[in-house]
Structure 1
């Protein structure tokens, strides 16, 4: 018998999805689990859900998940990310860009849902100089210790435009783009992803082929709120920047890139998360793996398993488990000349990491 590749990391299946493809997961401080389903072509009945007694229920209501042209601000159109902040709030990033179309004006939003009342408490929308026609808002992290009520940092992972980090003052709602089109937030032009042994490219039904290009996507924040980690989806590199510098609009954006720190090659990642000790967890979608990057920069692969078919969003629960979605994103029809190669179910997995979520933010 010939030697074979070794797999490791104890994974547990928490939920199997037989309907639409999920991207986001978050676990609240009380253990509630929320999922989101962006509208990428599947039959998405509701774009935000909660897993309750083994069933997916629209959250916070079916009405909120139904597009109301007369009240787009309170309608969830196509949600890419959900984040529970440990302070009784679920934050929802609505791209309002089904199938990566141009975002619907006035509908792109960051919404705060009160987990005690299950009602939308506040909605932040964005001006045209913040959300561009090419924008695709992706993931978000928070620090509630700065400003009067805190700041949010959102990645714009524009597939066909400039990547950026959008900074939001949660008191005033003022938002602005930072590192707009900078090297660290942009697609690596020399990056050629290989997943399941095959080169990943856009391959349309009409036979045209183009590179897989998605800008800054994964984002994580240090427990003290001082460092923001980020990475483009079309890249294997990890970067960080001081959040104080990021918020300081007196520093011109063209100078901001000189404040970016390079942490090295961590593998190609979609989602990232930080635990209470400052360790960053990141997926490696090329190698069916999960990696951790310690505060001193050392990296270790903690899971390598054939079931990790495109690790997407991460969340750390109060139970010391790392939860993550695997959704076979690379098997979608647009990468295979119109042929959908995904095999249901998609999965919500978890593994014990014996670390707690960063609820100090």
Structure 2
């Protein structure tokens, strides 16, 4: 047999082996990577909302209001204990002056260990507000109310990104979909502006969320059901505070905008909109976080998975786990070189499951190392 023909046949056989068995080997690698790199910090008896860690790696969780928890925000411990944060009166929302927390989802710590809690006010109909609490000094630092027209009647202020250096906070409000917007808050003056309302970067796309073969559905007061489509929800600043990344939850695109442009109140709405950039593809996702290497972590809701948009704008799947990762809601970066996250089975709550609550504990608080372990490209 001629040498060239023999070489060709050897290459062909090798290619057949790769094509024929590569998917099986890749699947096994994914399973092994998931089990070895994704760690359960603790099992939770109540469904978490969002997560924040301070410089001492203390873990703060909002408890998701869709499950009507008694407490609004808690500090979580590795033994599963959940203690009211910042104290019982605030966390139970029973302050007679309606200053205490009502319904918190978004929560984030800043560089000074201030825990910023975004209260949407939708349980008792209170005015939405930002509450800043010093987790080191155990004291109230700031309350910023966000009344109409900053938050319209259908507002659902959901998540936030904190810019400590510039004294600004950027808020995602999916609202009713068509009027979704970002809110820009100066934490020094308390002044707030609603921007990009109705822009394509914040309103939902016509895409449907299906998890475990079942569409997410809301039951209306008349008993009918609809398949909700949610506007801007994922939101995060890069490490330098230069770019804000965001997008609609029900959307296939991640966008970004320079934070300096968001802070520039002299820009007309059309000028600001013209500066929005489409950054990358993304799946339907909830909260996100960004590390110092430019990786954006997100929950791939339809896949019961965690994914990452790497700095080259490529989306990759990190972990898939039907038991531990049903509805990965939010992320926070720890000082121990781990990324922390929570899963809460939100699609099984009565609110998103046509009126039937099928969520069952445990819920999970997890962590994993940064994204060099990415193993699958979509």
Q: 2:272 — aligned with what?
A: 256
| TM-score, normalised by the number of residues in structure 1 | 0.88
How do residues 37-116 of structure 1 correspond to structure 2 at under 5 angstroms? Answer: 37-42=63-68, 44-52=69-77, 54=79, 55-68=81-94, 70-73=96-99, 75-98=100-123, 103-105=125-127, 108-116=128-136
How far has the Cα of 1:154 moved from its partner?
A: 0.8
Kindly indicate whether the alpha-carbon contact (under 8 Å) linking 2:62 and 2:107 is maintained by their aligned counterparts in 1: yes
Looking at structure 2, the residues matched to 119 and 330 of structure 1 have their Cα atoms a distance apart, in angstroms, of: 36
Note if 1:201 corresponds to 2:217: yes
Task: Map Cα deviations across residues 284-324 of structure 1 (whole Å, 9 max, x no partner).
Answer: 10112222222331232221222210100101111111111
Offset, 1:331: 1.2
Please tell me whether residue 169 in structure 1 is matched to residue 186 in structure 2. Answer: yes
* Structure 1 residues 184-237: Cα deviation after superposition (integer angstroms, max 9, x where no partner): 11111x211111122223245865121212110011111111110002112222
| SS of 2:326 mapped into structure 1 | coil
User: Are the counterparts in 1 of residues 179 and 197 from structure 2 also a CA contact under 8 Å?
Assistant: yes
Q: 1:218 and 1:183 mapped to 2: Cα distance?
A: 15
Task: Describe the shift of the 1:164–1:223 C-alpha distance in structure 2 as closer, same or farther (beyond 3 A).
Answer: same
Question: Aligned residue pairs: how many?
Answer: 342
Residue of 302, 308, 313 corresponding to 2:318? 302
Q: Which runs of 5+ in 2 are unaligned?
A: 1-22, 373-378
Rounded Cα–Cα distance in structure 2 between residues aligned with 1:289 and 1:86: 29
Q: Is the 8 A contact 2:304 2:326 kept in 1?
A: yes
Match of 1:358 in 2: none
Note the 1:1-361 alignment, pairs <5 A: 7=31, 8-9=33-34, 10-19=37-46, 21-42=47-68, 44-52=69-77, 54=79, 55-68=81-94, 70-73=96-99, 75-98=100-123, 103-105=125-127, 108-146=128-166, 150-159=167-176, 162-188=179-205, 190-204=206-220, 207-306=223-322, 307-353=324-370
Structure 1 distance, partners of 2:164, 2:186, is 10
- Which ranges of structure 1 fall in alignment gaps of 5 or more residues? 356-361
Q: What TM-score comes out, normalization by structure 2 length?
A: 0.84
The structure in which a higher percent of residues are helix is 2
Structure 2 CA distance for partners of 1:334 and 1:113, relative to 1, 3 Å: closer
- Contact 2:51–2:330 (CA<8 Å) still a contact in 1? yes
CA displacement at 1:246 relative to structure 2: 1.4
Instruction: Supply the distance in 2 between the matched residues of 1:66 and 1:340 (Cα, whole angstroms).
Output: 22
Please tell me whether the aligned partners of residues 27 and 33 of structure 1 are also in contact (alpha carbons under 8 angstroms).
yes
Q: Secondary structure at the match of 2:317?
A: strand
Bigger shift: residues 286-295 or 218-227:
286-295
Structure 2 Cα separation of the partners of residues 260 and 160 of structure 1: 19
